[in-house]
Amino acid sequence: MIEVQNLTKRYGAVSAVDNVSFTARPGQVTGFLGPNGAGKTTTMRMLTGYMPPTSGKALVAGYDVFEQSMEVRRRVGYLPENVPLYRDMTALGYLMYIGEIRGIPNRRDKAREVLEQVKLADRAGSRIRTLSKGMRQRVGLAQALMHDPEVLILDEPTIGLDPLQVLELRDLVRELGKNHTVLFSTHILSEAEQVCDSVVIINRGMVVAQGSPSELRSTLERGGRVFVRVSAPAEAALAHLQSLPAVAQAEAGLDGVIVAPADPNADPRPAIARAIIENGWDLIELRPLAVNLEEIFLELTRAPEAAAEAEPMPESEVVA
């Protein structure tokens, strides 16, 4: 269980994380989404006790991250973003070192067990510098699992992996999510959609949306915006679509045109399709906008105006 209330981290006048609040429930994988520099890593560092917050409060496994940092650290497994490891140590040696600092009894058995869990048992005696990127990622994950933590915090664990490794890791995370509280940060949206039970989207240090992937999708779809791509000069297409009665506003975006309907409850697509065909252009793509998290994400994080628009999101739905 992770409960974050008004967590803020300021560097002088700049806020890296500003008044962030969310909850991650046990038995769930919570996705932490945002572009680079949004404050994901800073938030996660605060949650693991690595970085003290400027103000606000965060409870991890029931303990305050600042006041009871050691208690929190005992219950959290953390995989940092770049998976820093001691390159001169063997995988097993590294895990045993971590285990020794954590004061785990039977560290050798435990280390072998977690290596088995991350499917790295055969490379236990290899020096870390000889391991591939994916293997190192798994050593890092094994490190986070050494002490059977209640809470797992994984900072972009799939970055830099090949597709097969990514799939394996996602499976692993989903598996772990069943009996841990997992906070999982990524900037790959499809990943969050596949893996996460709920998602928190953060941009410029602020939470811009949160909820389950399906909730977020339906929320955004309610606007009824439509994405159109046409084989015509963009400006001509834009002008033409703008002129349609069913269209309230059209603007260029995503290599095409985004159209807002005049009546949010009516589907403007037939009218648009007809208009384009009649004009003698080819319709290449026509679909509701924001059907996947990728687009929600882009919508929300593209510009500060967009973020501001998204602010009145029904937070109460997510935060109990």
Partner 1 sequence: MSAILAVFKREFTLYFRSPIAYAVAFAMLLFLGILFNGNLSQSVAYNVSVAQQGGAGVTASDLNLAPALITFLMFLIGPLLTMRLLAEESREGTIEVLMTLPMNEAQFIIGKFLAVWSYYTVLLLLTVTYHLVLTLVGVPDAGVAFGAYLGAWLYGGAVLAVCMVWSAVTEDQIVAAFLSAATVLVLYLAEVAAVSLTSSPTLASAANFVRELGLQAHFGATLANGIIRAEDIAYFVLMMIGALFITTRIVETRRWRA
Partner 2 sequence: MTDQTPKLTEQEAFIPPYYMLILALAGLLVALAVLVTQPTFTVVGWGALGIGGLALVAWVLMAPDQAKAVITGRTARFGGTSLVVTAVFIVALIAIYALIRAQGWRADLTERDTFSLTEESRQAIAGIGADPNLPSVKLLAFYGAAQAGRRDQDTLLFDDYAETSAGKISYEFVDPERNPQLTELYKVTSNGQIAVVALNEAGEPDVENAELVSFFSQDGLTNAILRVAAQGDFRAYFLNVDGGLGLTDSSVSGMSLLNDSLINSYDWKTQQVSLFELMGEQSEIKLNDPAADGEVLVIPGGNKPLSDDEMAFIASYVGQGGSLVIFASPSLQVSATDGGEASLSANQPLALTENMSNFLYENFGLRFRNDLVLDPTLSLQSPLRPVAVDFSSTHYITRNFVAKQSGIVFDLPHSIEIAPTLPENVTVDELARSSDASFSKADIQAIINSTNIEQLETDPKGPFVLAAAAENTATGARVVLFGSASVPSNNFALGSGLVNLEASFSSLVWATRFNDFFGTVNIQSAANAQDVPVFATDQELRNINLMTLIVLPFGVLAIGFIVWWNNRERARTL
The sheet with strand 256-261 has its strands ordered as: 247-253, 256-261, 226-230, 283-288
Q: Is 102 in the site for partner 1 (CB under 8 A)?
A: yes
Angstrom distance (rounded) from CA 27 to CA 284? 43
Binding track over 114-153 against partner 1, x by CB under 8 A: -----------------------------x----------
* Complex with partner 1: residue 86 or 106, whichever CB lies closer: 86
Contacts (CB under 8 A) with partner 2, residues 93-132: 123, 125-127, 129-130
Strands 2-11, 14-24: pairing kind = antiparallel
- Shortest Cβ 43–partner 2 spacing (Å): 17
Token pair, residue 261, equals 């309907």
* Complex with partner 2: residue 70 or 320, whichever CB lies closer: 70
DSSP 121: G
Among residues 33, 85, 199, 247, the one that binds partner 1 under rule CB under 8 A? 85
Rg (alpha carbons) of the chain, rounded to whole number: 23
Angstrom distance (rounded) from CA 81 to CA 263? 45
* Complex with partner 1: residue 44 or 290, whichever CB lies closer: 44
Among residues 59, 98, 154, 228, the one that binds partner 1 under rule CB under 8 A? 98
- Count of beta carbons in the 10 Å neighbourhood of residue 124: 17
Q: Is 78 in the site for partner 1 (CB under 8 A)?
A: yes
Q: Is 48 in the site for partner 1 (CB under 8 A)?
A: yes
Question: Which residues share a beta bridge with 288?
Answer: 226
Binding track over 246-285 against partner 2, x by CB under 8 A: ----------------------------------------
Q: Is 261 in the site for partner 1 (CB under 8 A)?
A: no
Q: Is 82 in the site for partner 1 (CB under 8 A)?
A: yes
Question: Which residues share a beta bridge with 247?
Answer: 261
129 binds, among partner 2, partner 1, none (CB under 5 to 8 A by kind): partner 2
Q: Which residue has the tokens 């811009």?
A: 208
* Residues in Cβ contact with 70 at an 8 Å cutoff, skipping those fewer than 6 apart: 49
